[in-house]
Amino acid sequence: MSFPILSSILLAPVLGILLILFIPQKEDKLIKIVAAIATGLTVLLSLIIYANYDQSIGGLQFVENIPWIDDLGVTYGLGVDGISLPLVLLTALVIFTGVFASWGLEKRVKEFFIFLLALVAGVFGVFLTTDLFFFYLFFEIAVIPMYILIGVWGSTNKEYSAMKLTIYLLVGSAFALIAVIAVYLYTGLGTFDIQTLTQQTYDIGFQKFAFFLLMIGFGFLVPMWPFHTWSPDGHVAAPTAVSMLHAGVLMKLGGYGLIRAGIFIFPEGARFWAPVIGILCIVNVVYGAMVAMSQKDLKFVIGYSSVSHMGYVLLGVASLNTLSISGAVAQMFAHGIMTALFFALVGNVYNKAHTRMIADFGGLAHQMPRIAAGFVIAGLASLGLPGLVNFVAEFAIFVGSFRVYPVLTILAISGIVITAVYVLRVVQNVFFGPRNPKWDELEDVRGIELVPIVILCGVLLFLGFFPSFLMELINNGVDPFVQQYLTTPKVGGMF
């Protein structure tokens, strides 16, 4: 067996935790450096995997399989393909930049980074594992630190939000768990291996039943309307790095699960339920954007904009073709980077100004030109401007979905207009206008604070100009599944 590079990604944060455990609390600089190195390592490893992933072969690569619980058929199985690799890369980038965004943290630094690294280890596990049992396990590993991180280090209504988030996520995962156990019992093969389960055929009644559970379960995570209210509250309450991970990565677990465990294992069930997702996702897109327009707190704007943007992911999933699903995966990546950038910027403003109310600001571009530039770039990504990767992802979703649900897709495209309205209003009200002397003592970002902004903006721009580096990998991962399991393209009927 070759070098277990995927396990190394998983272990890097764990190693970080172990090291931090032995560092005294007051050495917070050192703790941060260790966290930065541990997460930097994950970025490096995922880039190495990206460079060595052989697209001409495709499929799962860097596979590791260790039997875990023989009696149950649980295997510690890891592997990446064109769908999970971009999300692994996303996780690594977001957590690495998230550490730098938490550089100014002073409260209980040691515990904070321990929980943060535990959280991210769980998230990596979800994307890396090829076994449904571990998929579920890693997900639960991610939820608990999230609860603690928000409950202890959060702001604005943090106990309520932390509890709400945890309950929603656990209820969602309970639905998914039922489906997992059901499929395990149904096949009777005694395995949780996703690939094996994907190759089985299931009778249509069971498919409808199982997909429904997954749709609701992962719908909680995405979050699909009307299960979304935990997410804006959670975003707002969470400390910066956790917001970044939460909106940037954790929500993507839902979309990823829906694709990997939902439509690939139960294609007929997916075809049955897809129109429901199609309609709910339009509610996500349009309703989310309209609600975002009314928000007064910057973080709530971004929170609802995430609800709106994840609607595009659901639209891509519901359309069940290579292009739309690839677009959905790309949109998860693009949105993850963009929203992490947003939260990093807002976190920075909040740390210095101690408010996030839009009405308190105005003319901030005078004092914080770099923050303003970063915010404009994130905003433009959010409204789908060409030159930033979000546009390519959205465009792929639109083209892929249009032939399936023309009416719904047109409604979804209208989302880009509404997004432009609320994003540009925020930009205008916060950053433009006359200089406000009240904020004269605010300092612009510099030095280490710049790291997240530069990296995340760089990724958005680079992949915006050269999208083939991302899109063709994803296409390569999605296409074989679609060719094999989802050959009939038309599912929408009148929509």
Partner 1 sequence: MIESIGIKYIWLVPLAPLLAFILITFLFKRFKLLSALTAIFSMVVSLILTLDILRVILTGHEITMNTPVEMAVPWLNMNGLYIEMGALIDPLTAGMLFVVTFISLLIMIYSVGYMHGDPGFSRFFSYLALFVFSMLGLVIANNYFQMFVFWELVGLSSYLLIGFYFYKDSAAQANKKAFITNRVADFGFMIGVIILFLYFGTFNFLELAEGISASSDLAFLTLAGILVFIGPIGKSGQFPLHVWLPDAMEGPTPVSALIHAATMVAAGVFLLARGFILFVSAPATITFIAYLGGFTAFFAATIAITQRDFKRILAFSTLSQLGYMVMAIGLGSLTAGMFHLTTHAFFKALMFLCAGSVIHALHKQDIFEMGGVFKKMKITGTTMIIGGLAIAGIPPFAGFWSKDEILLVAKTNGFTLLYVLASVTAFLTAFYMFRLIFLAFFGEKRSDYHAHESPLTMTIPLMILAVFSIFGGLIGAPFVEHGFSSYVYFGEAHHPQPDYMVMGSSTLIAAAGIFLAWLVYIKKAISAEKIANQFAPLYKFLYNKWYIDEIYQWFFNKVVLSISALLNWCDRNIVDGIAHGIAWVIRTTGAKGRYIHTGSLQTYGLVIFAAVVVIVLFLAGPVVGGVQ
**Contact set with partner 1 (CB under 8 A):** 144, 167, 170, 174, 177-178, 181-182, 185-188, 206, 209, 225-226, 228-229, 287, 290-291, 293-295, 321-323, 326, 363, 365-366, 380, 383, 385-387, 391-392, 396, 398-400, 402-403, 410, 413-414, 416-417, 420-421, 424-425, 427-428, 431-435, 467-468, 471-472, 475, 479
- Beta carbon of residue 240, minimum distance to partner 1 (angstroms, whole number): 24
How many CB atoms sit inside 10 A of residue 425's CB?
Answer: 14
Which is nearest to 228 in space by CA: 118, 137, 310, 145?
A: 310
Instruction: Give the whole-angstrom CA distance, residue 257 versus residue 222.
Output: 10
Give the residues across from 131 on adjacent strands: 193
Would you call 17 helix, strand, or coil by DSSP? helix
- Beta carbon of residue 439, minimum distance to partner 1 (angstroms, whole number): 13
When the beta carbons of 10 and 413 are compared against partner 1, the nearer one is 413
Instruction: Give the whole-angstrom CA distance, residue 187 versus residue 193.
Output: 12
- Beta carbon of residue 347, minimum distance to partner 1 (angstroms, whole number): 23
When the beta carbons of 98 and 217 are compared against partner 1, the nearer one is 217
- Beta carbon of residue 7, minimum distance to partner 1 (angstroms, whole number): 27
When the beta carbons of 357 and 417 are compared against partner 1, the nearer one is 417
- Beta carbon of residue 392, minimum distance to partner 1 (angstroms, whole number): 7
When the beta carbons of 206 and 495 are compared against partner 1, the nearer one is 206
Instruction: Give the whole-angstrom CA distance, residue 191 versus residue 193.
Output: 6
Provide the angle, in degrees to the nearest 10, between the axes of the packed helices 369-382 and 389-402: 10
Let me know: does 318 contact 261? Beta carbons within 8 Å: no
- Beta carbon of residue 41, minimum distance to partner 1 (angstroms, whole number): 29
Q: What is the DSSP string of 131-198?
A: BHHHHHHHHHHHHHHHHHHHHHH--SSHHHHHHHHHHHHHHHHHHHHHHHHHHHHHH-S---BHHHHH
Q: Which residues of 324-363 are buried (b: 16+ CB within 10 A; e: fewer)?
A: bbbbbbbbbbbbbbbbbbbbbbbbbbbebbeebebebbbb
- Beta carbon of residue 384, minimum distance to partner 1 (angstroms, whole number): 9
When the beta carbons of 120 and 471 are compared against partner 1, the nearer one is 471
When the beta carbons of 66 and 417 are compared against partner 1, the nearer one is 417
